[in-house]
């Protein structure tokens, strides 16, 4: 059996669509556990309409955060596999049926799929992930996961024994809880995926936590720290160096239009790791040229207005 864990915090506008998509699965051996994590909107009223359904279990708790809510669902689950569905996302009807077939390989711990994207109003978005580190991978994936999280959360189905092996979601993390879990699982299990967009992923609406870049980056640092402390013997020093180099370059690129000091800080950290790579030098050069152009532009403006 598959236990579908749906967590909801103030997603009254979307949670019904998520529940309908779970109930509409062609795979029939499932239960649905809905955890209302202290919503202050009409989420409870919307969810209550579904409670007569025999497959649904409902847990209403005080707000404790997304990791706690998901862990609550896992602890209540009875299935051999756990599938996660955030309340603002949806599934295609044959998602679980096609994914569960891949678990015949006992080494597989997580099966996921591709996603297609919609906006807050349900309109399709022409959005594609170009970064090579965000392309789906199968088998032993730690060496790829170290660089970026390419597993869409609401597409994942997890073998229950994985949680017994590596633990649940880390409730001390505000963001990146899925990436942290995938990394821990990847040390011991293989991953596989269906190369079809079974997840309908909603982006760009109010309430999504992924917008807070400072919190995301600090959580990323903590995830690395924990992983290397507990599983560093499984990962080569050169791979760890490459992962940090990529992270610092990515942060430098992100901050170069927003905060020159932060951008320079991360480019210099990347240079310290790999002083013979050109990427950080190009980044630093861009900062100086961009800053110079701004000063020239400001000077011309002052002269013009004088």
pLDDT, averaged across the chain: 92
Spatial distance between the Cα atoms of 161 and 218, rounded to a whole number of angstroms: 29
Least confident of 21-30, 210-219, 275-284: 210-219
Hey, CA dihedral for 52, 53, 54, 60, is it positive or negative? negative
Q: Which pLDDT does position 303 carry in this prediction?
A: 56
Give CA 117 to chain center in angstroms: 14
Burial of 28 (0-12, 13-18, 19+ CB in 10 A): exposed
CA 125 to chain centre: 19
DSSP for 173-236, written as a single string: -SS-HHHHHHHHHHTTSEEEEEEEEEEEEE-S-TT-GGG-HHHHHHHHHHHHHHHHHHHGGGS-
Task: Show the 3-state SS of 253-299.
Answer: HHHCCCCHHHHHHHHHHHHHHCCCCHHHHHHHHHHHHHHHHHHHHHH
Q: Where are the domains of the chain?
A: 2-213, 236-305
Please tell me the predicted confidence (pLDDT) of residue 233: 81
The superfamily (CATH) of domain 2-213 is Spore Coat Polysaccharide Biosynthesis Protein SpsA; Chain A (3.90.550.10)
pLDDT surpassing 60 at residue 301: no
Give the pLDDT band of residue 207 (cuts 50, 70, 90). low
pLDDT the model gives residue 298: 61
Task: Report the distance separating Cα 112 and Cα 6, nearest Å.
Answer: 16
Q: Name which residue leads in pLDDT, 233 or 115.
A: 115
Please check the confidence at residue 209 and state whether its pLDDT lies above 60: no
Helix (H, G, I), strand (E, B) or coil at 132: helix
Q: How many CB atoms lie within 10 A of CB 196?
A: 14
3 confidence band (pLDDT: 50, 70, 90): very high
Asked whether the predicted pLDDT for residue 204 surpasses 80, the reply is no
Provide mean pLDDT across the span 132-154: 96
d(CA 225, CA 133): 20
Q: Which residue has the higher pLDDT, 92 or 203?
A: 92
149 is written with which tokens?
């999280």
User: pTM for this structure?
Assistant: 0.91
**The predicted structure's pLDDT at residue 171:** 97
The pLDDT-based confidence of 169 (bands split at 50, 70, 90) is very high
Residue 267 has pLDDT above 80, yes or no: yes
């Amino acid at each position: 059996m598959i236990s579908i864990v749906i967590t909801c915090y103030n997603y009254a506008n979307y949670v019904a669509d998520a529940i309908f998509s779970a109930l509409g699965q062609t795979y029939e051996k499932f239960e649905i556990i809905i955890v209302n994590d202290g919503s202050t909107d009409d989420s409870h009223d919307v969810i209550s309409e579904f409670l007569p359904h025999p497959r649904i279990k409902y847990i209403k708790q005080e707000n404790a955060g997304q990791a706690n809510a998901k862990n609550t669902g896992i602890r209540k689950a009875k299935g051999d596999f756990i599938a996660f569905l955030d309340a603002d996302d949806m599934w295609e009807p044959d998602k679980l049926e096609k994914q569960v077939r891949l678990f015949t390989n006992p080494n597989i711990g997580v099966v996921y799929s591709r996603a297609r994207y919609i906006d807050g109003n349900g309109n399709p978005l022409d959005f594609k992930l170009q970064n090579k580190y965000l392309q789906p991978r199968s088998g032993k994936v730690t060496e790829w996961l170290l660089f970026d999280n390419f597993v869409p959360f609401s597409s994942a189905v997890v073998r229950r024994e994985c949680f017994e092996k590596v633990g649940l979601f880390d409730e001390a993390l505000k963001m990146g809880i899925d990436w942290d879990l995938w990394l821990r699982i990847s040390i011991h299990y293989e991953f596989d995926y269906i190369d079809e967009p079974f997840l309908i992923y909603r982006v760009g609406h109010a309430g999504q936590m992924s917008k807070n870049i400072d919190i995301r980056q600090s959580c990323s640092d903590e995830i690395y720290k924990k992983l290397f402390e507990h599983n560093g013997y499984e990962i080569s020093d050169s791979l760890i160096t490459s992962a940090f180099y990529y992270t610092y370059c990515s942060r430098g690129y992100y901050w170069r239009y927003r905060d020159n000091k932060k951008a320079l800080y991360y480019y210099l950290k990347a240079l310290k790791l790999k002083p013979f790579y050109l990427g950080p030098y190009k980044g630093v050069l861009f900062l100086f040229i961009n800053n110079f152009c701004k000063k020239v532009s400001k000077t011309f403006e002052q002269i013009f207005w004088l």
